[in-house]
Structure 1
Amino acid sequence: MRNWMIGLALVGAASAAQAQEAADIEMWRLDCGTIELSDSASFSDGHLYDGVPRTLTDSCYVIRNGDRYLLWDAGLPGALAGNSMTSGVYTVSVERTIADQLGDIGLTPEQINFVGISHYHFDHIGQLTDFAQSTLLINERDFAAVTEGVDGDTTAAFTPWLENSERATTFPRDHDVFGDGSVTMLAMPGHTPGHSALLVRLPETGNILLSGDLYHFREQIENRGVPQFNTDRADTLASFERFLQIDQALEAIIVIQHDPGDVERLPAFPASAN
Structure 2
Amino acid sequence: MKRILAVALACTSIIATAAEPAPDVSLTRLDCGRATEPWPLDSFDDTGGADGMKKAIVGSCYLIRHGERLMIWDTGIDPATSGDPDGGFFLDRTLVDQLAQLGIAPADIEFVGISHYHYDHTGQAKDFPQATLLIGKEDWQAITHDPPLGNANPAHFPAWVSGKAKVEAFAGDKDVFGDRSVKILATPGHTPGHHSLLVRLPESGPVLLTGDLAHFTANYEREGVPTYNTGRADTLASFDRFKKMAKNLGAKVIIQHEPADVAKLPAFPKAAH
TM-score by length of 2: 0.88
From 120, 124, 133, the equivalent of 1:123 is: 120
Structure 2 Cα separation of the partners of residues 210 and 91 of structure 1: 22
Shift of 1:151: 6.4
Gaps of 5+ in 2: 1-17
CA contact (8 A) 1:37 1:91 kept: no
What is the CA–CA distance in structure 2 between the aligned matches of 1:158 and 1:150, rounded to whole Å? 15
Task: Find the aligned partners of 2:142 and 2:150 in 1 and give their Cα distance.
Answer: 10
- Contact in 1 for aligned 2:117/2:152 (Cα 8 Å): no
Aligned structure 1 segments of 4 or more residues deviating by more than 6 angstroms: none
Question: In the alignment, is residue 31 of structure 1 matched against residue 26 of structure 2?
Answer: no
Give 1:242's aligned residue. Answer: 241
Deviations 1:24-57 (A, max 9, x none): 1111000100123441111111111122221111
Residue matched to 1:76: 77
CA distance, structure 1, for counterparts of residue 95 and residue 80 of structure 2: 11
Instruction: State the one-letter code of the partner of 2:93.
Output: R
2:133 corresponds to which of 131, 136, 148: 136
Q: 2:89 aligns with which of 75, 82, 92?
A: 92
Distance (Å, rounded) in 1 between the aligned partners of 2:164 and 2:211: 23
Mapped contact 1:23–1:66 kept (Cα < 8 A): yes
Distance 2:116 2:227 in 1: 16
Match of 1:111 in 2: 108
Distance in 2 separating the partners of 1:219 and 1:152: 26
Q: Does 1:22 align with 2:19?
A: no
Compute the displacement of 1:221 (Å).
2.3
Larger mean Cα displacement after TM superposition, 160-169 or 123-132:
160-169
Query: After the TM superposition, which of the residue ranges 189-198 and 166-175 deviates more from structure 2?
Result: 166-175
1:147 CA displacement: 1.2
Query: CA shift at 1:159, angstroms?
Result: 2.2
Letter aligned with residue 247 of structure 2: Q
Once residues 212 and 164 of structure 2 are traced to their aligned partners in structure 1, the CA distance between those partners, rounded to angstroms, is 25
Asked if structure 2 preserves the Cα contact closer than 8 Å seen for 1:139 and 1:170, the reply is yes
Per the alignment, residue 11 of structure 1 pairs with none
Whose radius of gyration is greater, 1 or 2?
Answer: 2
Separation in 2 of the partners of 1:223 and 1:84? 31
Distance 2:126 2:59 in 1: 18
SS in 2 for 1:86: coil
* TM-score calculated relative to the size of structure 1: 0.88
Residue 191 of structure 1 is matched in structure 2 by 190
Deviations 1:195-240 (A, max 9, x none): 0000000000100000000010011222111001100000000000
Q: Structure 1, residues 99-147: CA drift from partner, whole Å, max 9, x if none?
A: 0000111101111000000000000001110011110000111111111
Number of aligned residues: 252
Match of 1:167 in 2: 166
Pair 1:232-2:231 in alignment: yes
Aligned mates of 1:62, 1:34 — CA distance in 2: 18
Alignment root-mean-square deviation, CA: 1.7
Aligned-partner Cα distance in 2 for 1:211–1:51: 24
Gaps of 5+ in 1: 1-17
